[in-house]
Structure 1
Amino acid sequence: MTPFIFQSPWILCLLLLLFPMAWLLHRARKRRNIVHAQMGGTARSSTHDWLRLAAFVLLIIALARPGIQPHRESISKTGRDVIFVLDVSQSMLAEDAYPSRLEAAKNGIRDALDRFRTERVALVIYAGSANILCPLTHDYDFAHYMLDQANPRAVDFGGTTLLSAMEKCVDNLLIESRTGMQDVVVLTDGEEHGEHNQKIAEQLLEHQVGLLLVGLGDPVSGSRIPIIDEEGATSYLKHEDQFVTTRLNDQGLLELSRLTARSEAGSKYIPAATSAFNLPDLYYQVASDKPVASTEAADSYVVYREIAFGFIAIALALLLIAERTPRSEQTNHPTAASVATNAATTAAILLGFLVSSTSLQHRVSAAEPSPTIHFADALLLQNNGQPGEAIDAYNMFETEQGRVSLSPPQLATLRYNQGLCYLAMADAQAEAEPRSAMSLAMTAQRHFLEACQSSPGFQQAAQNLDPTAQLIMEYSARIEQEEEEDKKRQQQMQDLVERLQELEQAQTELRDQVPSPPRLTAAQRRLGKTNSATEAPDNADTESKRFSQEQGQLQLEGQAILIEMQTIDQAITPPMNDDSTKPVSLLQEPLRLMNEVVAAQTIAATRLKQWNTWHDGREQQQVAIVKIQEILELLASDSDQDGDEGDWDEEDDYESMMEASDSEQAMMSSMQGQGDFASGSSMQSLPVPNYSVEDILMEEEGSLQFRQQQRAKSNEGKVEKNW
């Protein structure tokens, strides 16, 4: 390591200003000497100018931050692993703790996350089963986000089983190499825990895990469990026509604490009941005497002893001497205070430039670039129209600096720039994805609010709040408009299906009314006889006229349905792409089949005019019926693929829907032999998918939540006390 270094060497480039300053001082001195000569005075020497220039050089050197006596320090992180186990059963919705047991528990975890600095945290939720929402991590922002998602719908089914949560912790979160460095913080009302306490204690003792139990709820009077329906109305949970009252199970939690008390890691039960509690203070009281794990990092940094202040002191002394006027040049004797004031004014100007140009940093990384460089890179990406990459760079800058080390103005500036990036991303997605755009705009609004909170005088951030709120309202209105259009299109499709069903029924009834001519025997066919040779019914002319007219009316209905289908197809087909490729019609196959239906109806109306061609007319009617059935099946399959909107109460109902009956299998096997149906149900070429990674993740998240809700409904009936 170099024993002497300038930690900001580029500042030395300011020494180039020494030459124009010397020229300006020389020119000013010459003009002053001319005035003094005209007034009978003596010329002033150049000593004062040289003193000022020397002070300027010393201040520039101080600005470059000279350092001596370097030594290297390494980065280390110390802390314990803290696993928050949160009860999200319905009994935690009771409002005897403000605002509810669940929200009080979540607020306690939030306070702990805000106080933690080096601890790794994880979040496990449980009711009838357990889920790991957040693995062990130092990313407290992610833990905050996942904590907001914790609710009774996030688990598979109701109940209260702490044992399942402990098994999740043992199998997935507890690390053997950190034995004795791990704690579990359980926040629960303790209902339905007693029968599993022995097993839970055995697992905690085996892995030497510390336990902090926080009991929530009124242990005496208890509280009813509110249930809010989709319309916002509140009712209370009943079991066997009786209101359910849930109470804090003090005895069960005390027993669990007693069973685990002999562990070296310790155990403590805090009956918070309905009172407020400070979870970080409670945890630090329990963990204050426990060992912590230390991890040495590979990165290191060099620390230099700053000597810039010595140069500043010498520069101030030179300025004081330079501002002192010789007695031979004085007309009025200045006081010592005026001399000091002049020197202080000059020094203040130079020091103001010093402070505004650079911050007094005490560490220079030996392996990583300066965080200021990361901020400049992020700002460059933002100005170049790359808001996504700029956000990543800003996050990297904040991670390296640490939120605590950033001053309020610096944090406000960071949040303001992040908000601008989110607004740019929202504007880019506004047309195609208004929901994503609204989410990004709300994120930008939150960043502007944080900027205003960090620096109340930050006017730029405050001025962006109203336009951002207006954007959110516009996106919300656009989303509502799209939802209305979707409902309208769904209603049109439903009306179309109903008209097709009515057309199929009417066509079937008319086909059944048309008598089929008698079949010829083999001997009659060998003799060359035809159906025309048989005798016609007495009312053949009248029936032919009626059949033809009714078939013509059905043909007109088929044409009307075809026109309606074309109108719907134009509305739901996406516009032409930028590459001028023709978009794929979403109703391409139903439209083709409907054209065949109308053609078959037209031929049937012609054939039914004469008795001897009734047989051909019946065949065309049958063709039209089969095509309509194929259209209905295609539309039904499309609606099923659009989304699983149907709900079922029992898992057996779902399984029964998936199993085909014998009659259905026979019908399917017979359909496979019909040529028209087989050709109509052939696979169509699919367009190339155009989904982003974010779209896939959002769709999968929605599907996961839906499946969890359905499993919860199906298993709810199997749990006697599912609160």
Structure 2
Amino acid sequence: MASHCTMSSFTFQWPSALLLICLLIPISWMLRRARKQRKIILRSMGVERRTHRLLKDGLRLIAWALIALTIARPGYAPYYEATSQTGRDVVFALDVSQSMLARDVSPNRLEVAKQGIRDALDQFSNERVALIVYAGTASILCPLTYDYDFARYMLEQANPRTVDFGGTTLQSAVEKAVDQIFDPERNGVQDLLILTDGGDHGSQMERVETLLVESNTGLLVVGLGDPNNGSPILLPQEDGSLLTLEIDQQPVLTQLEDALLRNLSTTYPNAEYIAAETKPFHLGQLYNEYAADKSTLAGNANSGKLIYQEAAIFFLIPGLICLLLAERWSARSLGSSAIVLSLFFCGFPQASVRAETALHPLETDFDKTTLLIEGENYDEALETLNSIIEQCAYGQLSTEQMAASLFNRGLCLIKLSVQQAEQSPGGALELAKKARLAFLKSKAYKPDFERAGLRIELSSTWIQELKGLIEEEGNQASTDSSPQSSEETENESLDDYEDMYEDDYSELSESMPDSSYNEGDLAAGSSMQSLPAPNYTIEDILLEEKGNLQFRQQKRANANAAKVEKDY
């Protein structure tokens, strides 16, 4: 339906359910046959009295028809509801240089930037999103897509090793977005969101501005870090420890350097710079404010989702009344039926009770949660908190209540993580990450919540300890493994490989050239004896390859680092 003038003001949203009305014919036949059989039986017993069976059956048939119409979901007064607030293309450009590992914000600048992108993805509905990471060079981790789960997954992979070498060149990110992501046919509805700590080491800002003007790209830049005090760069090591980045035996201190970013926002009219610094922020809300007055390609009145006002209740109530009268038809039963109907209609308006009346159960849930946490029943407390947090979508929680709920949820997750640390370090690590995320969200809802900020730091420390514990267990397991168990694992792996490739080999052999005509040594060598089992397992091969990959990445990064003046 292209316009309101051609759109029906009344319709059935599930028209296939109207086929249920066709069942009225066999139902009426069965009811008529039952009436005749009943009369025959009563006459044989010498009973002659009116039973109102015809009226009751008529009410049953009317009830069936009305309920069938109810199931078909009748609707009226259609209108279009926008499926997105903007519908634009949004490319996130994430600075992954080593300076983003500074901890003047908790847990560090890079994780705060990632959380900002997660918040934006949670708020988006119909925007296409893409992800670029950049430092000395830029890489596309996620092309334009509506699959937000894939974008979240690729966001987790972002780290300083995902680019060839360090430094910070905003120009590389803009060129990558304009040349390989943006569509010229969608000029004017494409935005670039950059999260960085500034300190550009070689970009030509005139070139950046030219690219943005030519593609008519919107630019929103968020600056992270303390602009006044320098912070050391802490590099995570394989054993879970942190190493301070030094040059000439002096620690490198980094701070928010946003002079070029501020200048770009003043010279380019379609750009806006926001200095988040060390304060919490919600990237989704910042973008909505930035894009509030911007155009879309689907901004007409008939775009979006068609919504009808539900009219099923106007068929359901008469149907229930007819059914109730048919089953309770008698002078005595009609009195009780009237009572039931009056209670039904008195209870019906209560469905529109205002949400404020539901606050009393919420207060009870808060008290219950407090008692459960004090009693160390963290599993039950977590379930109660999850139900409370879910109600935030209905506007029943204030900002303070939401922050407190998320904070308590993080406490429960941390306690459960500590309890599982010895038995299952991997599970404890996942719980600890969820706890840190809960503390981050709590801090975002209430920026002056100091306890949440402290817990973010403590949970980050606990996560590093768990990673170290997992690393130690892995090393100990590889050391304690006996040759016999290694040989058994090796044989099982070889059997799996034989089963996996047995069918593939039979299919490939049919398509390969026949070599049976060969003679001499080649023909004699075709019947080879089975090779002895190697003295290493598949796990050893994968572990070695992983180490080689990390070595190649580090070697390439060190080689390319010489091309920039500052590799951080």
The answer to whether TM tops 0.5 is yes
Query: Which structure 1 residue ranges, 5 or more long, are not aligned?
Result: 348-403, 405-437, 447-475, 493-566, 591-634, 646-698
Partner residue of 1:270 out of 271, 274, 277: 274
Partner residue of 2:558 out of 678, 688, 713: 713
Structure 1 residue 198: Cα displacement: 2.8
Structure 1 residue 642: Cα displacement: 5.3
Partner residue of 1:213 out of 215, 218, 221: 221
- Determine the structure 1 residue equivalent to 2:207: 199
Equivalence map 1:15-26=2 (5 Å): 15=24, 16-19=26-29
Equivalence map 1:369-518=2 (5 Å): 484=478
CA distance in 2, matches of 1:161, 1:716: 13
**8 Å contact kept, 1:179–1:209:** yes
Residue 574 in 1 paired to residue 419 in 2?
no
Q: CA deviation digits over 1:657-716, x for unaligned, max 9?
A: xxxxxxxxxxxxxxxxxxxxxxxxxxxxxxxxxxxxxxxxxx9x9987764343113323
Residue 293 in 1 paired to residue 297 in 2?
yes
Structure 1 residue 123: Cα displacement: 0.7
- Determine the structure 2 residue equivalent to 1:279: 283
The TM-score with structure 1 as length reference comes to: 0.47
- Determine the structure 1 residue equivalent to 2:127: 119
- Determine the structure 1 residue equivalent to 2:17: 8
The TM-score with structure 2 as length reference comes to: 0.58
CA distance in 2, matches of 1:179, 1:131: 22
**8 Å contact kept, 1:319–1:343:** no
Structure 1 residue 96: Cα displacement: 0.7
Supply the RMSD in Å over aligned alpha carbons: 5.4
Structure 1 residue 71: Cα displacement: 10
**3-state SS, counterpart of residue 103 of structure 2:** coil
Residue 132 in 1 paired to residue 130 in 2?
no
Equivalence map 1:243-322=2 (5 Å): 243-261=251-269, 266-294=270-298, 311-312=315-316, 314-316=318-320, 318-319=322-323, 322=326
**8 Å contact kept, 2:197–2:256:** yes
**8 Å contact kept, 2:265–2:273:** yes
Query: Which structure 2 residue ranges, 5 or more long, are not aligned?
Result: 2-7, 346-392, 394-425, 435-469, 506-526
CA distance in 2, matches of 1:569, 1:313: 68
Between stretches 309-318 and 268-277, larger displacement belongs to 309-318
**8 Å contact kept, 1:569–1:586:** no
**8 Å contact kept, 1:569–1:585:** no
**3-state SS, counterpart of residue 243 of structure 2:** strand
- Determine the structure 2 residue equivalent to 1:105: 113
**8 Å contact kept, 1:569–1:587:** no
**8 Å contact kept, 2:169–2:203:** no
Residues 237/64 of structure 1: CA separation in 2 closer, same or farther (3 Å cut)? closer
Structure 1 residue 90: Cα displacement: 0.8
Q: CA deviation digits over 1:473-507, x for unaligned, max 9?
A: xxx9xx979984998679x9xxxxxxxxxxxxxxx
Amino acid at match of 1:284: N
Partner residue of 1:235 out of 237, 243, 246: 243
Structure 1 residue 158: Cα displacement: 1.4
CA distance in 2, matches of 1:155, 1:32: 91
Structure 1 residue 177: Cα displacement: 1.1
Residue 89 in 1 paired to residue 87 in 2?
no
**8 Å contact kept, 1:125–1:133:** yes
Partner residue of 1:340 out of 338, 341, 349: 338
Amino acid at match of 1:708: Q
Between stretches 95-104 and 5-14, larger displacement belongs to 5-14
Residues 282/345 of structure 1: CA separation in 2 closer, same or farther (3 Å cut)? closer
CA distance in 1, matches of 2:294, 2:220: 13
Residues 702/168 of structure 1: CA separation in 2 closer, same or farther (3 Å cut)? farther
CA distance in 2, matches of 1:217, 1:35: 96
CA distance in 2, matches of 1:67, 1:709: 64
Amino acid at match of 1:289: D
Amino acid at match of 1:574: L
**3-state SS, counterpart of residue 126 of structure 2:** coil
Aligned length: 411
- Determine the structure 1 residue equivalent to 2:351: none
- Determine the structure 1 residue equivalent to 2:150: 142
CA distance in 2, matches of 1:192, 1:71: 53
Structure 1 residue 318: Cα displacement: 3.8
Between stretches 53-62 and 234-243, larger displacement belongs to 53-62
Q: CA deviation digits over 1:572-605, x for unaligned, max 9?
A: 99249567999984459x9xxxxxxxxxxxxxxx
Structure 1 residue 195: Cα displacement: 5.3
**8 Å contact kept, 2:201–2:566:** no
Structure 1 residue 289: Cα displacement: 1.1
**8 Å contact kept, 2:78–2:307:** yes
Structure 1 residue 345: Cα displacement: 10
CA distance in 2, matches of 1:184, 1:171: 13
- Determine the structure 2 residue equivalent to 1:171: 179
Q: What is the aligned-residue identity percentage?
A: 39
Equivalence map 1:13-52=2 (5 Å): 14-15=23-24, 16-19=26-29, 43-52=50-59
CA distance in 2, matches of 1:70, 1:569: 67
CA distance in 2, matches of 1:177, 1:229: 46
- Determine the structure 2 residue equivalent to 1:61: 68
CA distance in 2, matches of 1:300, 1:95: 43
CA distance in 2, matches of 1:148, 1:247: 24
Amino acid at match of 1:7: S
CA distance in 2, matches of 1:98, 1:339: 65
Equivalence map 1:601-616=2 (5 Å): none
CA distance in 2, matches of 1:325, 1:273: 75
CA distance in 2, matches of 1:118, 1:486: 53
Q: CA deviation digits over 1:115-154, x for unaligned, max 9?
A: 1112111111011111011111111111111111111111
Amino acid at match of 2:69: A
- Determine the structure 2 residue equivalent to 1:522: none
Residues 285/71 of structure 1: CA separation in 2 closer, same or farther (3 Å cut)? closer
**8 Å contact kept, 2:63–2:323:** no
**8 Å contact kept, 1:7–1:66:** no
Amino acid at match of 1:248: L
Structure 1 residue 111: Cα displacement: 0.6
CA distance in 1, matches of 2:320, 2:22: 22
